[in-house]
Amino acid sequence: MAVTPTVIKVEKREEFGKGAARRLRREGRIPGVLYESGIDNVHFSVDRIEISAIIRNEGVNAILELDLDGEKLLCMVKHIDQNVISMDIDHIDVLGIKRGEKVNVEVPVITTGEAHPDAVVLVENDVIEIEIDALSIPDELEVSVEGKEIGDQITAGDVTLPAGATLLSDPEDLLVNVTYEQVDEELEEAAAEAEEGGAEAGAESTEDEAESGDSEE
């Protein structure tokens, strides 16, 4: 499905370094850099709330059109740095792209449906890498586990890709493994012993109460 890029106003940065970045953040803005082959890097700042909302709603592969003094720069989010405590975005890198250009991206894979009642679905890997038109990047790809039984597996090569997309991940990469519930025997024994010990303690407590009652009489 074609993507309509989100237009967001940015301002050119003239100051660099940690001090300048801290001043921007105090003003509610964050620094960013646009990288594109054949042109000089574009250093900009962007409103933190606006860019955070875009990343939250459109994901880490978001397609943007930076409005820099009326010039529109088409790009995609390539990397974000987040504060480890607040999780606020501290810095953003974007990659300049052209309409019709194909890009390499990692796309989340989600499971749908219900496997056989006796089976347990283990997700071994939840992303695959594909090459696709920059304006057709899907938010996610689906694989169905409906009716899958113990022993069934789903690999990257089983995923249905959007039209025009090429799989870059190894087709044999395991995404989903349908298996049986594995019981840790040591944990089971420990739980049984704890339960047995609790029952014995309860019985002793009841006997003690009975003896105490007899002595009071």
Please provide the CATH number assigned to the domain covering 105-180: 2.170.120.20
Please report which confidence band the pLDDT of residue 209 belongs to, taking 50, 70 and 90 as the band edges. Answer: low
pLDDT digits (tens, 9 = 90+) for 36-61: 877 788 899 999 999 999 888 888 88
d(CA 31, CA 88): 13
Closest-CA residue to 143 (of 156, 133, 131): 156
pLDDT digits (tens, 9 = 90+) for 63-102: 899 999 888 889 988 888 887 888 888 899 999 988 888 8
Asked if the domains 6-97 and 105-180 are classified in one and the same CATH topology, the answer is no
First-to-last C-alpha distance (Å) of the chain: 85
Closest-CA residue to 52 (of 90, 97, 106): 90
* Domain ranges, ordered by start, for the chain: 6-97, 105-180
Instruction: Tell me which fold the domain 6-97 belongs to.
Output: Ribosomal Protein L25; Chain P (2.40.240)
